[in-house]
Each structure stands twice: as C-alpha cells, then as structure tokens.
Chain A
Amino acid sequence: MRIGILSFAHLHAEGYQAHLKNMPGVELVGFSHENAEEAKHFAHEYGLKCFPRHQDLLAEGLDGVIVCSENARHLELVELAAQAGCHILCEKPIETDLADALAMQAACEANGVRFMTAFPMRFAPSVQAVRRAIQEGRLGRVLGVNGVNHSEIPRAHRAWFAERELAGGGAAMDHIVHLADLLRWYFDAEITGVYAELDNLFYPGEVDVDTAGLLLVSLSNGVQASIDCSWSRPTWYPRWGHLKMEVVGEGGAVVLDAFAQHLTLYARHGPRPVSWVGFGSDPNRAMLEEFIASIRERRQPSVTWNDGFQALRVALAAYESSKSRSVVAL
C-alpha cells in the first residue's frame, strides 16, 4: 500500500509520518511541499523523499494520500488527488466554506475515490467509553454536555493557523469541529442550533482572527451542550492544551479528560518550565489504521466526508451567530 502526504503545512503531518513509517504493509512514498526551504528541512528532519510539486508525488501511483495543507487549500489538493485516483484522508476542518467542501465531495464522487475526515478523537479509547456509556443508557436522559477544546495559539508551530486567508478563521475554525463531531457521534444526532460569542481577546493587535470562543449548541435529540474553543492556554502551559467533555445525565455523569494520562516533567532546558508528557495509545495511529483498512477492504471509512461537512457547518454557524448576536438554526 503506497501512501503519500500532500503538504506538510499542518503540524499533524509530523506525527502521521512517524506512524506510517512503522505500519506493516504501508510504504510512505514521500511528501510534497511547495515551500522549498521548509521542504528541505522536513525531508532532512524525517528522512523522507520530498516532491516539490504535488503532481509529482501523485504521479508515483499512490493508493491513498493524507491532505495536510492549510485549510483553505484543501479543495485544490483533494481535486488533484481525486483526479489521480487516490483515496483521501483530509485534515480538519475539511475546508473553510461550504461551497468548497461540496466541491470536494463532487470531485471524489466523479473520480470514484473515498474521503475520510481526520477526526482522531473518535479513535481514543476514553472517548469511545463515553459514547458507550451514553448509548447503553447508563447516564439516563442526558441533561447537557460541557465541552472544552482549549489550546495555546498554534502560531509558534505554524503561523498560518492564525491567518484568516489560509485558516478560514482562528480558534473557532480550529477547534469547534472536534467537539461538534463528538457530540454528533455520541448521540447519532445533528446540531440544530448554535449561539456563539467569538472574539480576539488574547492576542489583540497581534493576529486578526478570533482567539476566544464560547458556544451553546442544541442537538436534534434535545440535548444542549457548551463548547469552549478558545486558544486560552498560555504558551507556557504544561502542554498544548486539552480536550475535556462532561456528560451530565439524570442517571449519572461521566467526565472525560482525553489527555489525562501524563507525567509532569520539570526540565531546566525544556521548551516549557513544566510540561505534561502524555503516555498510552495515540488515537492518531488508530485513525491512520482505519484509513489504510478502508482502502484495503474497499469500503467507506468510519468517518466520512459528511462528518467533516456537518462539523464545518457548525463552525461556520458560530461565526454567523457571533456576528448577528442571535441563535443560528441549522
């Protein structure tokens, strides 16, 4: 199975390449990246073959690609990959507007390739346990969900995350889709109403995107949930951030802290004064395994284009709600 990575712009590419390199039956052919200087650095750092043009990598005859470009360039790369007959695993959010996201689906259908959205949290055992607790009715009727996906501002890793043109927005575009997807998946329901307060409270004058955001959403099954998507962890927080969800039901509550398994490290010369170093399984690996298995077994991946699309609708509705100061119905 021959796999390539289209663009190294998204920092997750670094994690993906490490997993793909030691996955049985998988050959990581290389990556494409347009910025020559960065490309050289990544090629050297990870010992990978680098293709300056995406078409050159696709000409290698690949079975699947992982699209890790800036959000606003996903459509361009998905179209190229689809035309080359490659199945696609695409970073989230799948695009920055709905028309582009729909065009991606059309390109995949026209070329008979399958599209998987990169929602790794669905593959975390802790998250799966929460879903089981809900679906087996162990919490009774659910009263609400308190969701948090906090991080530091990711610009130190990749500047484009905080650039409107390339990212499509800031913290809201970056984080809402993860929790929106988990809510949809937990309850097999759609998000039908969104109220959001979004603003640039943490880096005014430094970036021109939203860095703080709070949402209250309602689901088609009547459940209410809050989402905090803020880049509110300081850059000296012990870790990039966290993902937490508390599901409160009439029969009990379940509290998820998806990255709770960690050692606390105090290193004099570390990048942070105190850091939380995670241990246990990496959900990214299980996600990549599902992508590979779906290609091998010629079936739809468990996370689809529609999952990415519905989550994107929620993120875009948040921007609309914040602007109009009203509840946006979906």
Chain B
Amino acid sequence: MIKICELYKSFGALQVLTGVNLSIEAGKITAILGPNGSGKTTLIKSILGLVKPDRGEIQVGGEVLNGDCRYRNAIGYMPQIGRFPENLSMQDLMKMLTDLRGGVHRDENDRLAQFSLHQEMDKPLGTLSGGTRQKVSAILAMLFNPKILILDEPTSGLDPVASSVLKDTLVTERDTGKTVIFTSHIMSEVEELADVVVFLLDGKIQFHGPPDEILRDTGEANLERGIARIMQDRATA
C-alpha cells in the first residue's frame, strides 16, 4: 500500500530520517514506535506531503508522490495535536471538508454518540477542551471512509472511554480492509492493536515485523522490555 525508499530528511543540521526503507501492507494495523525525536512524526508527515523529504521516494497505492494532491483522497489523518480554525464549529468544519472533497461523507452519528460529541457540534472549536478536540480530529480523519488511516499518537489526551472506543474503531476499520498506521508510546496499546510493528531509531528502521518476533528475537516477556532490549543492544553495539 505504502512504499518508502531511501528517505532522507534533515531540519538544518539535525538529521531526522537517514535512509528509511519501509513497505506498509494493506489491510493491517501498523504501529510505528520509537523514542521521542526518532522521526516518527516526520515520517508520517512525509507520507502526507506536509514535510518535503530531501531525498528518497514514497509510493502510495502504486503512485509515486510528485506534488499531485489526489492521492490524499485515500488518506485520513489524525494529527498529534488537532489544530483547527478557532471560530468554526465542528459542524462548519465537516460541511467545509465535505464541500472541498466534493463528495458525501459517511454517517458518523454512531461514533458521534459514542464519543458523546453531539452537544459539541455547534460550539466554536476554540472553546473545546484538548481531549474533545482529539475526538473531533478522530471523527474528521474517518469522515470520508479513507482506505488509509494515519494517526499520530491517537489516544494521548483521550479519557479511557474514548480511548477504547477509538481502539475498537481501528480494529473494525482494519477488519473492513483498511490500512491503519499509528504511532504510540503506550506499549500495551501496541500489543493490543498492532499486526506489524515498525521500530524507528536514529532515523533508521531497526525492526520491522510482527510483535511476537520481537519477543522471540529478544527473549523478553513483553513488548516494552523487548523494545528496551533492542535499544540497549544498539547503544552497546
């Protein structure tokens, strides 16, 4: 579904991605892990075209990214921190994006109810709490039934109820054939959801495969210790 080839990106003197090669399979949940500053967000933003890579190639659905924006029709994105025009309401925003995408959005009433967002629909987004804005972000990401869902630390800032609703939703989306990519620091969440784990360190991919493989390779009991072991081994090597 998504193929990344020799991707390099630096911000000034800071090398963030140093030759990332990755292919993300369709119909699976892929978790991107890595310590803070390891380039997870930069990688995601490169796929979205928000960050322009210095070198390398990205393919989405067989098409090489070259500045044409149409491939983003197939992508729904939930950013780490949802930033919206402050004096628009969620209703306005949904209308606007629907108009812009020139299509119909799918019925989100169930999910709005699960997230108990119905009362917040007409309030200006600037007045909503951080967690509520995260919920709005999640709804917007899934609004157009995209084939690929990209979520940057989706559960941070959500309460346990909303967080479980979101996780269930991701599994449902996967089961209907969507490709889901998310980043996270919460290992239990990764163990619960991910079919494939990608571990990013120092701008390179250190591990790519199913979570059991990490456990098998490192001989640790859980993912958190497995990841920690990989990092220690790297540090001593």
- Report whether chain A binds chain B: no
| Contacts from A to B (Cβ < 8 Å) | none
| Contacts from B to A (Cβ < 8 Å) | none
